[in-house]
Amino acid sequence: MGRHNFLSIRDFSPEEISYLLDLAREMKGHPWAHTRALRGKTLAMIFEKPSLRTRVSFDVGIQQLGGFSLYLSNAEISLGKRECVYDIAKNLERMVQAIMIRTYAHEIVEEMAEYASVPVINGLTDFSHPCQAMADYLTMLELKGNVKGLKVAFIGDGNNVCHSLMFTGAQLGAHIWVATPAGYEPKAEAVQWAVERGQKTGSTCTLTPDAVEAASDADIIYTDVWTSMGCEQEAEARHKVFAPYQVNSQLFRRAKFDALFMHCLPAHRGEEVTNEVIDSAHSVVYQQAENRLHAQKAILLELMQYREVLEPARIADVESHS
């Protein structure tokens, strides 16, 4: 694939995204085939935002590939406060072979990738969540056989998960519908990119304020929490605005008879989704969660397997001083 970092689904071609998904499926089916692939290599994991699935899936994933992980909380790092991003990148590149970062501003991930000579993986930003989207579409491939032509309805807040769901759907030829209250739509630049890429792949991206319209005849119903991390002060107001966008049995019946329910988790049961939907036979939320492990193992393998501990420029620097 030849890419150095994994920052956004937008950075790749449709063929590259398909390749990574195929690799993830192969690795899931043959878990013992790559157990020494990253032997002796270390992944630094920077967490400004806490996480269950991101922490466990990257930690377990790198170990299953023969490598090691190093957890760095905000207390150790304090990005941009205790130490600038440049200095953190330059320190870590001399001690680890890749960096995964879960943070707030997308610009921080981009800065880390600009300054570090080792691969950088976006574990989540306020703008996008590409690893989650890879797990989502891996799940769709497993259960639907193909992504192209599927109607994928995202109902709720047009947030980072929504953006990456749109980007990946546009890459793979899905028809994305996003139903949000007025003022909570996905960012215009994200919509524009999805529409433009869709013109090349046969994908479409449709925004509507009508949850019923989005859900009607959908193959996938997807939702996320109404109040993302960092927006807790808006929770009460958001609950009132988003109440008509709850995914309940009445709304879910608008979808196809074999539709899947998806959620990136954690879920606020009784808010964006009811128990009767998330616990139903249509729900695949735990398969999605498991697939974080397999999708990220494919990303780790692709980025780290063939990279030396010292980049060519640093090797030349070392030799010049020997």
Taking residues 110-122, report their average pLDDT. 97
Domains 9-128+292-320 and 132-288 share a fold: yes
- The two three-digit tokens of residue 180, written as one number: 């949000």
Please tell me which residue in 102, 163, 175, 238 is annotated as part of the active site: 102
Q: Identify which of 302, 21, 298 has the alpha carbon closest to the alpha carbon of residue 148.
A: 21
Indicate the CATH number of 9-128+292-320 among 3.40.50.1370, 3.40.50.20, 3.20.20.80, 3.30.300.30.
3.40.50.1370
Please tell me which residue in 10, 34, 238, 292 is annotated as part of the active site: 292
**Does 318 score more than 90 pLDDT?**
no
% of the chain surpassing 70 pLDDT: 93
Taking residues 189-199, report their average pLDDT. 98
264 part of the active site: yes
Determine the Cα–Cα distance for residues 174 and 197; give it in Å rounded to an integer.
Answer: 11
Q: What is the pLDDT of residues 65-76, one digit of tens each?
A: 999 999 999 888
84 part of the active site: no
Domain chopping of the chain, boundaries: 9-128+292-320, 132-288
pLDDT level of residue 315 (50, 70, 90 thresholds): very low
282 part of the active site: no
Please tell me which residue in 34, 53, 106, 129 is annotated as part of the active site: 129
129 part of the active site: yes
134 close to 168: Cβ distance less than 8 angstroms: yes
Please tell me which residue in 131, 162, 205, 264 is annotated as part of the active site: 264
Taking residues 64-93, report their average pLDDT. 90
Please tell me which residue in 34, 64, 131, 132 is annotated as part of the active site: 132
Dihedral angle at the C-alpha atoms of 164, 282, 206, 175, nearest 10 degrees? 80
Domain spanning 132-288, CATH architecture: 3-Layer(aba) Sandwich (3.40)
**Does 311 score more than 70 pLDDT?**
no
pLDDT level of residue 314 (50, 70, 90 thresholds): very low
Taking residues 285-300, report their average pLDDT. 98
Taking residues 3-12, report their average pLDDT. 94
Average pLDDT over the chain, rounded to an integer: 93
Residue the block writes with tokens 């927006």: 231
Q: What is the pLDDT of residues 134-171, one digit of tens each?
A: 999 999 999 999 999 999 999 999 999 999 999 999 99
Helix, strand, coil shares of the chain, percent, nearest 5, are 45, 15, 35
Regarding pTM above 0.85, the answer is yes
Please tell me which residue in 224, 263, 288, 294 is annotated as part of the active site: 224
Q: Which residues of 274-285 are buried (b: 16+ CB within 10 A; e: fewer)?
A: beebbeeebbbb
